[in-house]
Structure 1
Amino acid sequence: MKRKPSTEATAAWIRLMRVQSRVLDCVEQDLKKAGFPPLAWYDALLELSRAPSGELRPVELERQMLIPQYSTSRLIDRLVDEGLASRRECKIDKRGQFVEITEAGRELQKRMWGAYSAAIEKYVGSKLSDADAVRLSGLLDRLGCSCGEVKLPPVSVNESTPLR
């Protein structure tokens, strides 16, 4: 028989889910107030901009996104409609497609980082010391590894290469 979670583990799970949801909602609201589209747009544009040639297959984009995107094709449609990304046929596999970031997409992603980084500082950075943030990251890495990932992808953050 499998062990049931302790009261403490259950309380930690509930807190983790509530805090993640509330902070994400606050970040989304701050982006909206600043006149920007949803965080999923930033996330997709960031991943496209980090790809070696600025392009990914839709399935690769979905896998790399920070925020789960259950309607990636709809998100890609919106980015293409706004001129932030373009689709291109795969030369090897004619059925396959690539999504490529445009210059307008790169510019929007860079502009959004100002509001996004301010929100991260407001809702996370200002609440934790650097030592607390390192400890929290370590605990979250342990949780991620328990879900089958051998090692979580590294996080790289600085002004020129925003988030992740």
Structure 2
Amino acid sequence: MNSASTPATAPAPGHRWLTDEEQRVWRAYLHATTLLEDHLDRQLQRDAGMPHIYYGLLVGLAEAPRRRLRMTELARKSKITRSRLSHAIARLEKSGWVRREDCPSDKRGQFAVLTEEGAEVLRRTAPGHVTAVRQALFERLSPAQQKALGEIMEIVAEGLQPSEAGADLPWLR
């Protein structure tokens, strides 16, 4: 809400609505990120038969030592619930791209491991994905805009990065 449009209920005393300019920026951000995520999802579905989130999981495993991570760590890195991760890993297992391994030091723990077939899917898919990202984002921005966007996103992420000690975070559930 902004100052030009009053909500149905009165705001609490001292409440600040977004200014017209803040509202414009916020809505542009939401619109652009929704369209970008949809664009990347469609590209990955077309090229590899997987949604963007699954691609991110495969990349996370590919970048991990020995191409494996504990499921809890993969959930934390991916910022998704353990339940959603378990479902995604089951689908990736069905495709032969990931396998689970029991954790020898923790009977309840499991590792997600990127298979050779999963690594090959990434090798084949990455060039098209990079092209989609480049065309959708970087080719539309000047080098100065790219630098500014990176700095802005780092500031926003830093301000939102929760302290996991005692935090009620979905990926810790």
**TM-score, normalising length: structure 2:** 0.77
Return the index of the structure with the highest Cα Rg. Answer: 2
The answer as to 2:72 corresponding to 1:64 is: no
Shift of 1:21: 0.6
Structure 2: how far apart are the matches of 1:94 and 1:149? 29
- Residues 1:82 and 2:95 aligned together: yes
Shift in CA distance, 111/55, structure 1 to aligned 2, threshold 3 Å = same
Higher relative contact order (CA 8 A, sep 6+): 2
Q: 1:134 aligns with which of 147, 152, 157?
A: 147
Q: Which amino acid in 2 is paired with 1:122?
A: Q
Whether 2:137 is the aligned partner of 1:124: answer: yes
TM (normalized to structure 1)? 0.81
Partner of 2:11: none
* Structure 1 residue runs without a partner (length 5+): 151-164
Q: Is the 8 A contact 2:62 2:119 kept in 1?
A: yes
The percent identity for this pair of structures is 26
Structure 2 residue identity aligned to 1:47: G
Q: Separation in 1 of the partners of 2:119 and 2:73?
A: 19
Q: What's the counterpart of residue 32 of structure 2? A: 19
Give the letter for the 2:113 counterpart.
Answer: E
| 2:113 counterpart SS class | strand
Task: Determine if contact 1:28/1:39 at 8 Å carries over to the other structure.
Answer: yes
CA spacing shift, 1:52–1:20, aligned 2, 3 Å: same
Change beyond 3 A, Cα 1:90–1:68: closer
Size of the aligned set, in residue pairs, is 149
Structure 1: how far apart are the matches of 2:76 and 2:26?
24
Partner of 1:153: none
Alpha carbons 2:71, 2:109 under 8 Å: kept: no
Is the CA contact 1:36–1:112 (under 8 Å) kept in the aligned structure 2?
no
CA contact (8 A) 1:49 1:101 kept: yes
Matches of 2:161 and 2:38, distance apart in 1: 28
1:144 aligns with 2:157: yes
